[in-house]
Structure 1
Amino acid sequence: MIHKVAETGSTNADLAARIKGGDYLPEGDWLIADRQTAGKGRLGRAWNDGSGNFMGSTAVRIAPGDPLPATLALLTGLAVHESLSGFKPQGRGLVLKWPNDLLLDGGKVAGILLEMTAGVVVVGIGVNLASAPKILGRKVCALADYGAVPSRDDFARALASAFDTELQRWRSVGLAPLLRRWQSAAHPKGTPLTVLPPGEDAVQGTFAGLADDGNLRLALAGGSVRTIHAGDVLLAQT
């Protein structure tokens, strides 16, 4: 079920507050906002407003036997990729970038934020349908930059369906098939990357795929491969 509000601070914060307050949030329910005034992305970045864009959150209850909760970022990326593929203009490249961004012709068109609250993962998604915020030093874009814009509600229904499908697959067949599908939707192996690990200088390398746990494998100039567990990842063309 999709619940809509005209304005809120953050759909992620709203769901987290309800969980902390003892509410049971069934999987498959979504909270989406016409406008956010205190939305956030990874690393505390602001990701607000954007009338006509998709801003919404849902909850996943981690059960025994589920894959690692962090891999929900990859699952969510696939669901957003599947949903956007049905609306993007033909001839425009849509790729996933680890761990949780989608790029349309090299510009960030969507982002994902996962937050754990009392054993429940709140999954927040922002998609630039009608407009894109200005981010210093980053290329961003919206579907509207390339033609017709889907209605927010049409996109929300497509995303809810795709997310439900991916969640069932994640639980029933495990992580390996998801990782293969994620890599097929990402930029190719060998793509030059700059990684900014927390507390470290930038690391240069090329995309070497994903590790078995979903972390990024970065091929370094000397021939070694480093596994990246966290950090900003920049493509050379961005």
Structure 2
Amino acid sequence: MRLRPADPPAPGLALVAAVALDEAMRRHAPDAALSIKWPNDLMLGSAKLAGILLERSGEAVVAGFGVNLASAPDVPGRTTAALGAAVGPEALCETLADCFAAWLARWRADGLEPVRQQWMARAYPDGTALRVAMPGAEAVDGVYRGLTADGALRLETATETIEVRAGDVFLIS
């Protein structure tokens, strides 16, 4: 997609992509135990089902979606899952394109807040134990306390509440 001068800040597109993928997957697998993990992974139970990568070049942003439909890769240190035969790639791509277009239009018209609210409604519950590995720092344990107005993860540690803008997030069971 091409960014427009009146668009909200581009980092919000990670949340747009996540809620669009969540909605598309729920249309095809309404009974699946799906949730979004910050900022843009889709979980099936406690296992990673899908990931999203956004790349920006100038005013263009490309969103890539990797969804484990038929099988899940073995990834050391991570639990992965596949959806199975609930949906084929062509059908998912069509649904995802529609969902992404709708959430992109909403983001452009109403800003990040409705996207942020939808993301939080589909994420793990408030108080979920997390471990966050931030670039250049040791991992930090805490509990999830929602998202800031601009989409950063709010992590309450034993001593403070921090705003995470980059890092790997792991659910602690």
Match of 1:204 in 2: 141
In structure 2, distance between residues paired with 1:232 and 1:103: 14
2:23 to 82, 92, 95: 82
Q: 2:46 aligns with which of 102, 106, 111?
A: 106
1:86-235 alignment, distance < 5 Å = 86-88=27-29, 90=31, 92-144=32-84, 148-222=85-159, 224-235=160-171
Q: How big is the alpha-carbon RMSD for the aligned residues of Structure 1 and Structure 2? A: 1.0
Counterpart selection for 2:12 from 71, 80, 84: 71
Separation of aligned partners in 2, 1:203 and 1:111? 22
Q: SS at 1:61's partner residue?
A: coil
- Taking the TM superposition and a 5 Å limit, the aligned residue runs for 1:42-81 are 60-81=1-22
> How far has the Cα of 1:89 moved from its partner?
5.9
Letter in 1 for 2:66: G
Cα deviation, residue 149, structure 1 = 3.1
How far, CA to CA, are the matches of 1:121 and 1:156 in structure 2? Answer: 18
In structure 2, C-alpha distance between the alignment counterparts of 1:124 and 1:181, rounded to whole Å: 20
Contact in 2 for aligned 1:67/1:171 (Cα 8 Å):
yes
* SS at 1:64 equivalent: coil
Identify unmatched segments of 5+ residues in structure 2.
none
Confirm or deny: 8 A CA contact 1:196 1:231 kept in the other structure: yes
2:24 partner SS: helix
Q: Is the 8 A contact 1:179 1:210 kept in 2?
A: yes
Kindly indicate whether the alpha-carbon contact (under 8 Å) linking 1:130 and 1:149 is maintained by their aligned counterparts in 2: no
Of the two, which has the highest radius of gyration? 1
| CA–CA distance in structure 2, aligned partners of residues 123 and 152 of structure 1 | 16
Paired residues in the alignment total 173
Partner of 2:172: 236
| CA displacement, residues 13-68 of structure 1 (integer Å, 9 cap, x when unaligned) | xxxxxxxxxxxxxxxxxxxxxxxxxxxxxxxxxxxxxxxxxxxxxxx211112111
Partner of 1:42: none
TM-score norm. by structure 1 comes to 0.71
